[in-house]
């Protein structure tokens, strides 16, 4: 994409053209040439949207809830962008078809902008691509941005964890609790929604959830550090400014509970702002974005160097044959970079 075309897209987005927004997100999703310049240019115009991550296992009713949430926001005069992220799908075919169905059944209002994104190439890249799409929606001027995941695994956690508010959907009696434990979703949820609350077992699920959340905020069980020093994995959010995760019931198909959800989300956002946590989360997000970019860009440089040495398999062959060893291999591959730094310093 030419520099002029990037400029066109940027001004299109700032002028509120949905076509430019759609084109920009495609560029971002496909990592087309120019996407870095595009996101760089849009960044200066961000900072006004609040970002809501919605996760939960397939079948919990996420898309229905997100549709109702978007409609409710529209009724309140707010504009909405929705990104449905599918980390498990390397293809976009299905997702695009899904889009059309979703869009047809949607509010029928272009002020709800809906887009799905799938994993092309590395999964690590999807968090970055999602962050970039959020940047585009934010710069466009959307008031609320909802990031919805297809499943509830580790990759989904990575995608939603940097949202301002994380909503976790749970289906009664689904064994979702175990899956959530595995994925670490329990740790990142700000609001837990037991959807399909008219199903049998909803009350049990609500109380199970409350108990698990209670455990979460209590002692971190077994694996914790000695000597009063918390291990690096521990959350250290046990102070009085902490948000007490809310458990809500909804029946998304009927819209029941959606207004309450919006109120809780508003409360959470107000809490984030008042405690300075919003600012801290933004800083954490940017720090992680920078680190993630540095890691993946550096990994690209490293891959190129590994290839120049015949590829990782060839290096492993040598190590396995005891012709060389991992440290010598690492030194050899990194030598040009280390030299380079030395030379610039010397």
For a second copy, which is the closer residue by CB, 33 or 225? Answer: 225
For a second copy, which is the closer residue by CB, 40 or 207? Answer: 40
> Smallest distance from the beta carbon of 320 to a second copy, in angstroms?
6
> Smallest distance from the beta carbon of 316 to a second copy, in angstroms?
5
> Smallest distance from the beta carbon of 264 to a second copy, in angstroms?
26
For a second copy, which is the closer residue by CB, 19 or 283? Answer: 283
For a second copy, which is the closer residue by CB, 91 or 96? Answer: 91
For a second copy, which is the closer residue by CB, 64 or 128? Answer: 128
Question: Are 132 and 24 spatial neighbours (Cβ–Cβ below 8 Å)?
Answer: no
Burial class (CB in 10 A: 0-12, 13-18, 19+), 333: middle
For a second copy, which is the closer residue by CB, 155 or 246? Answer: 155
> Smallest distance from the beta carbon of 166 to a second copy, in angstroms?
17
Nearest-angstrom CA–CA distance, 269 and 278: 8
- What sign does the dihedral 318-323-328-334 (CA atoms) show? negative
> Smallest distance from the beta carbon of 25 to a second copy, in angstroms?
16
274 secondary structure, DSSP code: H
> Smallest distance from the beta carbon of 283 to a second copy, in angstroms?
5
Nearest-angstrom CA–CA distance, 249 and 247: 7
> Smallest distance from the beta carbon of 241 to a second copy, in angstroms?
20
> Smallest distance from the beta carbon of 127 to a second copy, in angstroms?
12
Tokens 């989904």 locate to: 156
- Token pair belonging to 28: 């971002």
For a second copy, which is the closer residue by CB, 179 or 256? Answer: 179
Of the candidates 141, 183, 194, the one whose C-alpha atom is nearest the C-alpha of residue 159 is: 183
DSSP-assigned letters across all residues of 224-246: --STTPPPTT-----STT----E
> Smallest distance from the beta carbon of 267 to a second copy, in angstroms?
24
Residue 297, beta-bridge partner list = none
- Edge to edge, what strands does the sheet with 50-56 contain? 112-118, 80-86, 144-149, 50-56, 165-170, 191-194, 246-249
Cα–Cα–Cα angle for 174, 176, 180, nearest 5°? 180
Please provide residue 255's backbone torsions phi and psi, each rounded to the nearest 5 degrees.
80, 0
Nearest-angstrom CA–CA distance, 89 and 117: 9
For a second copy, which is the closer residue by CB, 13 or 264? Answer: 13
For a second copy, which is the closer residue by CB, 100 or 344? Answer: 344
- Token pair belonging to 304: 């190129």
166's enclosing H/E stretch is: strand 165-170
């Amino acid at each position: 994409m030419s520099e002029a075309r990037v400029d066109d897209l940027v001004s299109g987005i700032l002028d509120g053209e949905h076509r430019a927004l759609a084109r920009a997100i495609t560029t971002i999703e496909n990592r087309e040439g120019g996407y870095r310049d595009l996101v760089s240019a849009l960044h200066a115009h961000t900072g006004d949207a609040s970002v809501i991550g919605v996760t939960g296992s397939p079948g919990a009713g996420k898309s229905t809830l997100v549709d109702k949430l978007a409609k409710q926001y529209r009724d309140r005069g707010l504009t909405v962008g929705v990104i449905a992220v599918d980390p498990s799908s390397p293809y976009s075919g299905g997702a695009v078809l899904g889009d059309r169905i979703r869009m047809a059944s949607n509010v029928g209002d272009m002020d709800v902008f809906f887009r799905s994104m799938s994993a092309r190439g590395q999964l690590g890249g999807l968090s970055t691509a999602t962050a970039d799409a959020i940047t585009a929606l934010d710069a466009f001027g959307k008031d609320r941005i909802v990031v919805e995941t297809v499943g509830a695994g580790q990759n989904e956690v990575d995608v939603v964890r940097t949202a301002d508010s994380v909503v976790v959907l749970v289906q009664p009696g689904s064994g979702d609790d175990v899956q959530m434990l595995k994925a670490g979703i329990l740790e990142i949820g700000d609001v837990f929604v037991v959807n399909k609350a008219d199903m049998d077992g909803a009350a049990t699920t609500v109380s199970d959830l409350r108990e698990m959340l209670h455990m979460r905020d209590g002692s971190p069980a077994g694996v914790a550090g000695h000597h009063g020093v918390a291990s690096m994995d521990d959350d250290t959010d046990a102070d009085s400014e902490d948000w007490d995760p809310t458990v809500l019931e909804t029946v998304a198909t009927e819209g029941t509970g959606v207004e309450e959800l919006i109120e809780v989300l508003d409360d959470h956002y107000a809490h984030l702002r008042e405690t300075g946590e919003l600012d801290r989360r933004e800083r954490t997000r940017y720090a992680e974005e920078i680190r993630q970019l540095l890691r993946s860009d550096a990994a690209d440089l490293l891959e190129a160097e590994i290839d120049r040495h015949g590829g990782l398999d060839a290096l492993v062959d040598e190590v396995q044959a005891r012709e060389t060893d991992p440290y010598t291999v690492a030194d050899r591959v990194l030598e040009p970079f280390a030299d380079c730094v030395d030379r610039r310093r010397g």
